[in-house]
Copies of this chain bind each other. A is one copy, B any other.
Amino acid sequence: IYPVVKTSKATIPFETRAQQAPCEVSKLLLKLMARKKSNLCVAVDVDQANDLIDLAKLLAPHICILKTHADLTKNFTGEISRQLHALAKQADFMVLEDRKFADIGNTVAKQYSGGCFEVSRWADLVTVHSLPGDGIVKALEEENAKIEEPRGCFLLAEMSSEGNLITTEYIKGSTQMASKFPKTVAGLVCQSLLLADQPGIVQLTPGVRRGEIKEDSLGQRWVTPEEAVIEKGGDVIVVGRGITGAKCPEKEAKLYQEELWAAYEKRIAI
């Protein structure tokens, strides 16, 4: 079954989609992916900030996005975020802080630009739940206007965890919100091809792992790289423990990069 049909954005090459993207970060990301031949995003969830930087350096050649959770890494200071930001510019990848903002606009504005992390200074992209309504994206858009570099967000339209409360109606709400803020919403986090007629909307698909393990004890489920790219329509594929928990993360990242890129090439040839 290939729900990814010829008429959808999924079969258009990233370079072409970049030209049609209304969001500046989305445009830059799609170009970066084409240039680097990588649709791999690695989720780096490590205890120590130094390990985060070391891993980022190792994985840099193979990724288009490095995904962080600033608040689960000890010593994630301003110095660390500056290092990460500089490394990303130098090694040509983007940083996505997977904050899953989920509060009212006024609070999110402060969490995004202020506080300990000053996320908007170093993260090209952040993840945002559409649950609280338009105010959350509006808040980011207002904060982004204060930053010189292009900034954007991914809206969570679906989740892969077991028993999640996302319905068809919820998904519709998220896609409508994405369409309403084309300059700020760079893409959707989802498990299936949504907004198939909007080439600028990048689909970020997590829950992917090579090999046999399909579920963990806290309800997280995984699919294979080819399923994620070809069946689900994922543009950027997020891999976490499958790479960071490997004996040699760099080698494993290379394997994922190749397998994911091959799946993408197969997809655009449909």
Contacts and interface: CB of A to CB of B under 8 A. Distances in A.
Interface string A88-117: 000000000010101111110111001111
Contact of A132 (B135, B161, B169): B161
A216 interface: yes
A107 to B, nearest CB: 6
Interface string A124-143: 00000111111110110000
A270 to B, nearest CB: 31
Interface in A56-107: 69-76, 98, 100, 102-107
B165 A173 contact: yes
Contacts of A139: 218
Contacts of A73: 115-116
Interface of A: 45, 47, 69-76, 98, 100, 102-107, 109-111, 114-117, 129-136, 138-139, 159-167, 169-170, 173-174, 216, 218-220
Contacts of A75: 116
A133 to B, nearest CB: 3
Main SS class of interface, A: loop
Nearest to A103: B100
B165 A109 contact: no
B165 A174 contact: yes
B218 A105 contact: yes
